[in-house]
Amino acid sequence: MRIYLDYNATAPVPAEVADAVSAVLRECPGNASSVHTFGQRAKAVLDDARTAVAGLVGGEPSEIVFTSGGTESDNLAVRGIVESRRDGARAAIVTSAIEHEAVLNTVKALGRNGWPVTILPVGPSGVVSVDALAAVLDALRDEPPALVSVMLVNNELGTMQPVTEMATLAHARGIAFHTDAVQAAGRFRVDVRELGVDLLSLAGHKFGAPKGVGALWVRRGLALQPQSVGGRQERGRRAGTENTPAIEGLRVAADIAVSRLPAEALRQAALRDRLEQGILEMVPGAIVNGDPAARVPNTTNISFEGVEGESLVIGLDLEGIAVSTGSACSSGTLEPSHVLRAMGLPPWRVESAVRFSLGAATTDVEIDRVLEAVPAVVARLRARGRGRG
């Protein structure tokens, strides 16, 4: 039995999605910008997908921009807003210390080119402080920032951020607000109107669409500087021929996600809680990272005292269980988690942290098997470490 508990990195593609992608590849060869029948069939695929994705986040179809995934959506949101100012002024950008690298590295690159940058701190719970944002905005009252960008759900911890309250603060000062909802869309109900945001990023492969397709929701009427220049696709906001087969996969995955909520969220939360509680009971020195109350239903991040996180990931993989130490985009590096470090956790917790992220295919039987394997692998690694001493 092989068990996949790394849904925050990417979710397996359901058969219905794969079949839909294959059908469009076979039967819909046209370019959606063409006026002939083949082109109009492709355009209909895009229109249907735009409606489905809008329904996933509570927006309107005309507000959906198809992209290659979360990273492009984040880049388009951040750069598109700050570069759209008609006066050319390089106003400040405010973001948090626990953002995905797609936001953090984009903001840092803009900072090197003259845009002032403010990074909001987080506390030991992994939640960004609303008061900290309020203080920053008060300090910048005379020269308001161009954008505040705070993620809806942290990819490593699963912690949910107070986006609604932060967006309200930003809007009171006429500042645009972007949220990276890559780990939220498809996991629980997301509504852009209730959140009060101006832009929202999502990635299809987190909830069962193919890799390489995503979307950016852009509030109607918001000025956005295109980052890909060419034709007039996506209402002039993102040039390039649309990836029709992948976008069809995004449509089907979005429809499936909507149909399963909220029942699937409740089921995954129950499995996650059973996994987490079992580990804490059976493994001495295990501790959960992040706020246990404010988090997405499928994720737990646990540190194991006396064990290197990478060693535990490898040990579990040998047992047929796939987990991770954090963001898939940072795997393979020797750098410790910037998220856990930003929380001020002691080094042993940062270096021994492992993320378990569940999904639609996770079963009770699989959780039972994981609860057998984790204590044994941890004990073996700890014994090996003592032997080296």
Among residues 68, 73, 104, which one has the least CA distance to residue 224? 73
Beta-sheet pairing, 286-289 with 64-67:
unpaired
Active site annotation includes 329: yes
Among residues 211, 190, 247, which one has the least CA distance to residue 58? 190
Please give the Cα distance from 388 to 378 (Å, whole number): 16
Other beta carbons less than 10 A from residue 368's beta carbon? 13
Choose the catalytic residue: 134, 222, 329, 371: 329
Which residues lie closer than 8 Å to 228 by C-beta, 6 or more apart?
238, 239, 240
Among residues 25, 59, 15, which one has the least CA distance to residue 252? 15
Residues labelled catalytic: 329
